[in-house]
Amino acid sequence: MLCSNITRNADGALLFAGQSVSALADRYGTPLYLMDEARIRQNCRMYKDAFRLAFGDKALPLYASKACSFKQMYRIMAEEGMGVDCVSCGEIHTAMEAGFPAERIWFHGDGKTDADIRYALDHGIGGFVVDGLEELEALNREAGERGIRQKILLRVTPGIDPHTYEAVNTGRVDVKFGAPIGTGQALEFVRAALNAPNVELEGLHCHVGSMVFDESVFEDTADLMLAFMRELRDKLGYVTGTLDLGGGYGVRYVDSDKQADIPARIAALANHIRKRADEQGLPMPFILMEPGRSIVADAGMTVYTVSAVKRIPGFKNHVIVDGGMVDNPRYCLYRAKYTVLHAVDRGGETAVFDLAGRCCESGDILQPAVSLPADVKRGDRVAVCTTGAYNYSMASNYNRLGRPPVVMLRDGESYTAVRREGFDELTALDV
Ligand code: LLP
């Protein structure tokens, strides 16, 4: 199977984290997001252990909470000793409500408003990743008014192509994020931060992309960052204390995807950075990374009930389910691949279907050309695997469909972490 938490019993019934997917669907209804709590914790520990081995105590993984954000997730992150990366006051608010320690939150994003800056300062969040000069100016002003010296990193763009899909390709010089090193703008950005009295420049941040499998991308990025750090020391006398290399390790959505050995990659990266820092005569910086997808993706599965099966002879077959692009827009947006499984597989004949959603547009496809039992019918359950990242967090209410609940699986039991959105919630803001 794709991941060790997906199995079948002797009767061919699909199990997730050891529990019957059909029974969970009966109990909680569909569409249904399931999350394997042990897997989330295991992924956190994988990062924490790899960081400890590779960097000692001079490093911290931050969970990029845009991948999946709700209160229980932040509680788990707090318990696992992770930091978190938030990109909006909504994420910060959720983290704070969950009791997540403010000092371990880093506030990212390229479009922070004055109101956002004030909110984050007033809640004492640990640090800002400042994206540009206007934000720096606004933050310096707001921090000054509060008598605070705010810890910051500056986001710079190293100018690297991580060979991933366009929407998540963020390392190139011409992207909307950060200040490019190549044009000299990053150097001016650092100079401005050093001259801003109410911020404390801790270091630099970069994030070159998501779903990165290319072995050398992080090493190449570190090389560019360390060369820039040396330039900063030589030209401005500034020694970078913290280097945040962003998120991006890829995960397996289908059997043909590579399996990234993340601990091994982190160990190699640490050696690489240490060597390069030595060569440049720079002290080893404190390292931050921001994994999102690789913490939660394989902890998730979405379960649907089949509403209709349409066979169009000579053309194609459709299986239509009770969810769709509303709970998982990733195929529509990125042509993302997914593994689709029937809740009961007795090893009979299969056929190829497009798995389509219930939204009123023909582009509402969860996954084309999937293999399912040839006799699949209304009422059957199907599961889409590896939906823990960027599914619940990207879900919408298109067609006034309520978002599915998130049910956590733990030690053979289950509990609701996010309730199903019902009619009352859908009209709660309507006047
Ligand atoms: N740090 C920064 C600054 C980021 O922009 C991102 C992701 C991450 C960390 C986490 O990257 P990860 O480890 O999850 O790859 N909606 C898209 C993904 C967008 C990623 C945006 N930034 C998708 O569904 O594939």
List pLDDT tens digits, range 269-314.
999 999 999 999 999 999 999 999 999 999 999 999 999 999 999 9
Q: What pLDDT is stored for residue 116 in this prediction?
A: 98
**pLDDT tens track for 81-100:** 999 999 999 999 999 999 99
Question: Are residue 285 and residue 302 in the same domain, yes or no?
Answer: no
Specify the residue with its C-alpha closest to ligand 1, atom 6. 247
- Dump pLDDT digits (tens) for 377-395: 999 999 999 999 999 999 9
For residue 40, is pLDDT > 70?
A: yes
User: How far apart are the CA of 248 and the centre of ligand 1, in A?
Assistant: 6
Query: Are residues 419 and 275 both part of a single domain?
Result: no
Spatial CB neighbours of 254, under 8 Å, sequence gap ≥ 6: 2, 337, 338, 339
The number of folded domains in the chain is: 2
Q: Which atom of ligand 1 is nearest to the CA of 212?
A: 15
For residue 65, what pLDDT band results from cuts at 50, 70 and 90? very high
Q: How far apart are alpha carbons 58 and 335 in whole angstroms?
A: 38
In the listed set 242, 261, 291, which residue is the last one of a domain according to the structure?
A: 291
CB 247 within 8 A of CB 290: yes
At 346, the pLDDT band (50, 70, 90 cuts) reads confident
Of the three residues 248, 273, 291, the one that is the final residue of a domain is 291
CA-to-CA separations, 284 to 149, 183, 417, in angstroms, rounded: 24, 26, 40
- Averaged pLDDT, 351-366: 97
How far is residue 295's CA from residue 43's CA, in Å, rounded to a whole number? 5
Do 190 and 216 belong to one domain?
A: yes
Asked if 378 and 243 sit in the same domain, the reply is no
- The number of the ligand 1 atom at minimal distance from the alpha carbon of 394 is 16
Atom of ligand 1 nearest to the CA of 295: 13
Instruction: Give the pocket of ligand 1 (CB within 6 Å).
Output: 64, 67, 85, 108, 168, 207, 210, 246-248, 290-294, 330, 334, 390
pLDDT digits (tens, 9 = 90+) for 119-173: 999 999 999 999 999 999 999 999 999 999 999 999 999 988 767 666 667 767 7
Write the residue with the smallest CA distance to atom 24 of ligand 1: 390
Q: Is residue 321 part of a domain?
A: yes
Whether residue 223 is contained in a domain is answered as yes
Q: What is the mean pLDDT of residues 66-80?
A: 98
User: What is the distance in A from the centroid of ligand 1 to the CA of 82?
Assistant: 17
Query: Among 230, 261, 291, which residue terminates a domain?
Result: 291
Together in a domain, 370 and 406: yes
Report the DSSP pairing between strands 127-130 and 150-157: parallel
Please indicate, yes or no, whether residues 164 and 286 belong to a single structural domain of this protein: yes
Average pLDDT over residues 18-38: 98
pLDDT above 90 (res 113): yes
Question: Band of the pLDDT at 214, cuts 50, 70, 90?
Answer: confident
Nearest to 245 by CA among 224, 263, 221: 221
Domain co-membership, 273 together with 124: yes
**With contact defined as beta carbons under 8 Å apart, do 206 and 225 qualify?**
yes
Q: What's the mean pLDDT in 185-201?
A: 98
Averaged pLDDT score across all residues of the chain: 96
pLDDT band of residue 175 (cuts 50, 70, 90) is confident
Residue 118, pLDDT > 80, answer yes
Q: Which two tokens stand for residue 75?
A: 């509680």
Indicate which CATH number applies to the domain containing 348.
Answer: 2.40.37.10
Q: How far is the CA of 192 from the centre of ligand 1 (A)?
A: 28
Ligand 1 pocket check: which of 60, 175, 210, 214 to mutate, most ligand atoms within 8 Å of Cβ? 210
pLDDT at 14: 98
Q: What is the rounded distance in angstroms from the CA atom of residue 72 to the CA atom of residue 249?
A: 23
| 267 and 312 assigned to the same domain | no
pLDDT at 189 over 80: yes
Does the annotation count 360 as an active-site position?
yes
pLDDT of residue 172: 73
Per-residue model confidence (pLDDT) at position 207: 94
298 forms bridges with which residues in the sheet?
Answer: none
Centre of ligand 1 from the C-alpha of residue 163, in Å = 14
The domain of 278 spans 108-291
- Domain shared by 243 and 322, yes or no: no
For ligand 1, mutation pick of 262, 290, 296 (most atoms within 8 Å of CB)? 290
Q: Which residue of 168, 294, 332 sits with most ligand 1 atoms within 8 Å of its CB, as the best mutation to test the pocket?
A: 168
Residues 86, 359, 360, 385: which is the catalytic one?
A: 360
pLDDT level of residue 174 (50, 70, 90 thresholds)? confident
* Residue 165 Cα: closest atom of ligand 1: 25
Q: Mean pLDDT over residues 368-384, rounded? A: 97
Q: Please give the number of the atom of ligand 1 that sits closest to the Cα of 294.
A: 13
340 within a domain of the structure (yes/no): yes
**Mutual angle of helices 185-194 and 133-145, in 10-degree steps:** 10
Flag whether 162 is in a domain: yes
More confident residue, 213 or 30: 30
**d(CA 209, ligand 1 centre) in Å:** 7
Distance (Å) from CA 297 to ligand 1 centroid: 12
